[in-house]
């Protein structure tokens, strides 16, 4: 089998959300699992609505998710290819000019429905004479251009949905070029898929209805049997009814990143929701690759609860090893030889990576101790064992403090925690204490900021 080439083709008219991430990751996992290539293609032929800043934010978001495209292209730089394809279709008589206004088409549709006919474009424009064209253009009308569909049933084996078909007799000839000369999405998409050698088109099921038209275009422009394979996955929907929309920015990848959610939690939720594998924390995208199978994506709706992201993100952090987070800890200013034991000590206490900073201050920086009973704290300080300390030091020390002061349970441990960390709760002190060290521990037990 030749290695797959896939594309993720967002229009840069807003920020991508977790539902778009699902499509991007499905493509990425599908291609990379088999050593294939992933193209990021900006569908930016709509020059009015497309923005470079959105294109850039989409690339940044994908990178954050762990997707590095093999190629990034912009349709706005490829108009010559679309013009050439349009010309070829016109010459073959398969792209024909029409002059009906939206109003006229609407009235025609209503009449058809009233007569019990399917509201399909009647191809009246194909009967126009040369004189008609001249008259209409003299009236100031500009044509839009429709692709002449062959009246046949198009069949394909969908990678997700299985055997599928659409009867093209039930479709209107699609408009490929608007009257202002701009392209709708269909033609540039097919022209690029051919030019880039796309082998698999994996996208949301909102595009199923475009597939028959696109397969006809593939066959016209590049020959019978030349269409890529198609897979249409169900769309992610939030169970709380919060809509996913590029325009509203709801659950945008940028927003989730800024909220401190782990990218692997976003990826796990985006990919595993609605699959046969239940949603669980992962420590790398490779972990998803092992079990990923488009054929196992459910056809039912893929509902998720956005609140799940917080706990999944925390569980993700708890499972990551220090190498996975070292660069990000460095960005927070956390570096040095103690990083590995520090990370082991604190990770299971974090809800976001950012929180590690607080505990770093506890072991390396300064904190204000909380002393409830200075007599008890001083007595405990006097019993601190000599260094070097290890994970047994805490239990050895507290056993002595218990013996000397008669305190036990919460009355013993809680004041020590408050004094040593300034916090009510946190990571296991057995692991923190050796990192805090005797000088700081002693100073804090005596109530000094250190």
Residues that bind ligand GLU (CB under 6 A): 9-11, 43, 185, 189, 203, 207
Under DSSP, the state recorded for 252 is B
CB of 253 to ligand GLU, least distance (A): 14
CA neighbor of 46 nearest in space, from 210, 235, 189, 228: 189
What is the distance between the alpha carbons of residues 163 and 165, in angstroms, rounded to a whole number?
7
CA neighbor of 88 nearest in space, from 217, 213, 183, 182: 217
Nearer to ligand GLU, 26 or 99 (CB): 26
All residues at 6 or more sequence positions from 224 whose CB lies less than 8 Å from its CB, including other chains: none
All residues at 6 or more sequence positions from 240 whose CB lies less than 8 Å from its CB, including other chains: 305, 306, 307
Nearer to ligand GLU, 30 or 389 (CB): 30
CB of 11 to ligand GLU, least distance (A): 5
CB 350 within 8 A of CB 317: yes
Nearer to ligand GLU, 26 or 389 (CB): 26
Under DSSP, the state recorded for 386 is P
CB 15 within 8 A of CB 54: yes
CB of 438 to ligand GLU, least distance (A): 60
Token pair of 325 as six digits: 């987070």
CB of 339 to ligand GLU, least distance (A): 41
CA neighbor of 251 nearest in space, from 92, 22, 11: 22
373: left (phi over 0), alpha (psi -120 to 50) or beta: beta
Nearer to ligand GLU, 194 or 363 (CB): 194
Helix (H) / strand (E) element for 41: namely: strand 37-42
CB of 206 to ligand GLU, least distance (A): 7
Nearer to ligand GLU, 176 or 420 (CB): 176
CB of 48 to ligand GLU, least distance (A): 15
Nearer to ligand GLU, 108 or 207 (CB): 207
Nearer to ligand GLU, 133 or 207 (CB): 207
Nearer to ligand GLU, 11 or 275 (CB): 11
CB of 218 to ligand GLU, least distance (A): 12
Nearer to ligand GLU, 96 or 185 (CB): 185
CB of 26 to ligand GLU, least distance (A): 11
Q: Which residues pair with 162 in a beta bridge?
A: 158
CB 228 within 8 A of CB 215: no
What is the distance between the alpha carbons of residues 82 and 187, in angstroms, rounded to a whole number?
7
CA neighbor of 256 nearest in space, from 33, 445, 16, 417: 16
CB of 185 to ligand GLU, least distance (A): 6
Q: Which residues pair with 232 in a beta bridge?
A: 203
- Integer angstrom CA distances of residue 275 from 224, 292, 293, 405: 34, 9, 9, 57
CB of 193 to ligand GLU, least distance (A): 8
Nearer to ligand GLU, 206 or 321 (CB): 206
């Amino acid at each position: 089998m030749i290695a797959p080439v896939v594309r993720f083709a967002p229009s840069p008219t807003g920020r991508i959300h977790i539902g778009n991430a699902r499509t991007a990751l499905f493509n990425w996992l599908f291609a990379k699992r088999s050593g294939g290539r992933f193209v990021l293609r900006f569908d930016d032929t709509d020059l009015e609505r497309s923005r470079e800043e959105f294109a850039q934010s989409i690339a940044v978001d994908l990178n954050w998710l762990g997707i590095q495209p093999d190629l990034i292209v912009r349709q706005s730089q490829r108009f010559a290819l679309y013009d050439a394809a349009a010309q070829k279709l016109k010459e073959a008589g398969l792209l024909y000019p029409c002059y009906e206004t939206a109003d006229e088409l609407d009235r025609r549709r209503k009449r058809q429905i009233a007569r019990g006919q399917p509201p399909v474009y009647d191809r009246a424009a194909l009967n126009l004479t040369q004189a008609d064209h001249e008259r209409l253009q003299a009236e100031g009308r500009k044509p839009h251009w429709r692709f002449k569909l062959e009246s046949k049933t198009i069949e394909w084996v969908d990678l997700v949905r299985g055997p599928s078909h659409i009867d093209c007799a039930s479709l209107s000839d699609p408009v490929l070029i608007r009257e202002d000369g701009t392209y709708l999405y269909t033609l540039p998409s097919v022209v690029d898929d051919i030019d880039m050698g796309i082998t698999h088109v994996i996208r949301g099921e909102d595009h199923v209805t475009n597939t028959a038209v696109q397969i006809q275009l593939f066959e016209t422009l590049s020959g019978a049997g030349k269409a890529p394979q198609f897979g249409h996955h169900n769309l992610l929907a939030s169970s709380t009814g919060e809509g996913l929309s590029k325009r509203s920015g709801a659950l945008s990848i940028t927003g989730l990143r800024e909220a401190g959610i782990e990218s692997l939690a976003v990826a796990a939720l985006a990919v595993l929701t609605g699959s046969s594998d239940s949603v669980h924390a992962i420590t790398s995208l490779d972990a998803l690759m092992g079990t990923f199978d488009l054929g196992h994506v459910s056809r039912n709706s893929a509902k998720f609860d956005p609140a799940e992201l917080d706990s999944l993100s925390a569980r993700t952090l708890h499972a990551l090893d220090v190498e996975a987070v070292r660069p990000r800890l460095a960005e927070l200013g956390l570096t040095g030889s103690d990083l590995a034991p520090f990370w082991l000590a604190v990770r299971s206490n974090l809800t976001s990576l950012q929180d590690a900073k607080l505990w770093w201050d506890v072991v390396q920086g300064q904190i204000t101790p909380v002393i409830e009973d200075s007599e008890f704290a001083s007595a405990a300080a006097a019993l601190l064992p000599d260094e070097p300390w290890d994970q047994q030091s805490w239990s050895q020390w507290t056993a002595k403090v218990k013996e000397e002061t008669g305190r036990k349970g919460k009355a013993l441990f809680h004041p020590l925690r408050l004094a040593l960390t300034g916090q009510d709760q946190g990571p296991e002190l057995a692991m923190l204490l050796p990192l805090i060290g005797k000088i700081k521990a002693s100073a804090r037990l005596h109530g000094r900021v250190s």
